[in-house]
Structure 1
């Protein structure tokens, strides 16, 4: 799956999951904590949404607030998990 496609899907997921009144284009994705004011509870909820949407498991040791704060990093992580799943 293309990285930009994943990022767009992530933006839509976050908007729906957090009931935001934004469009995907309004989210840059470089610093979600500042852009959409996510907190630690939101962070965990987003991780669950990601696991369900992409059918991956994110182990506790991989839970990193810095990763979820940046959609490019999240997309890279998802791509790596999807690649492992194909093996």
Structure 2
């Protein structure tokens, strides 16, 4: 899946499931907390929605601020999980 497609899927997840306004197009440099106004609870909710949408399993110990800092870091993290086969079974 292309990075742009992943960013669009993340945008839809945030727009459809979290009570925040998101731009029509997410840029990879967009910061989840500062630019998109996601708080810590929303980040945990987002992790659950990402697991469902991308078919991956996010280990609890992997949920740290660096992974959820920007759209780009989130795309990289999801890509890594998909590569290593951390899929939901």
Superposition TM-score, scaled by structure 1 size? 0.82
Alpha-carbon RMSD across the aligned residues, in angstroms, is 1.9
Report which structure shows greater RCO (CA 8 Å, sep ≥6). 1
* Match of residue 60 from structure 1: 60
* Match of residue 28 from structure 1: 27
* Match of residue 4 from structure 2: 4
Displacement after TM superposition at 1:23 (Å):
4.0
Cα pair 1:12 1:24 within 8 Å, conserved: no
Residues 1:81 and 2:50 are matched in the alignment = no
Contiguous gaps of at least 5 residues in structure 1: none
Moved over 2 A (4+): 19-24, 27-30
- Encode CA deviations 1:40-85: one digit per residue, 9 max, x unaligned: 1011000001011011110011101232121111111111111222
Superposition TM-score, scaled by structure 2 size? 0.81
* Whole-angstrom CA distance in 2 between matches of 1:85 and 1:45: 22
Cα pair 1:56 1:82 within 8 Å, conserved: yes
Number of residues paired by the alignment?
85
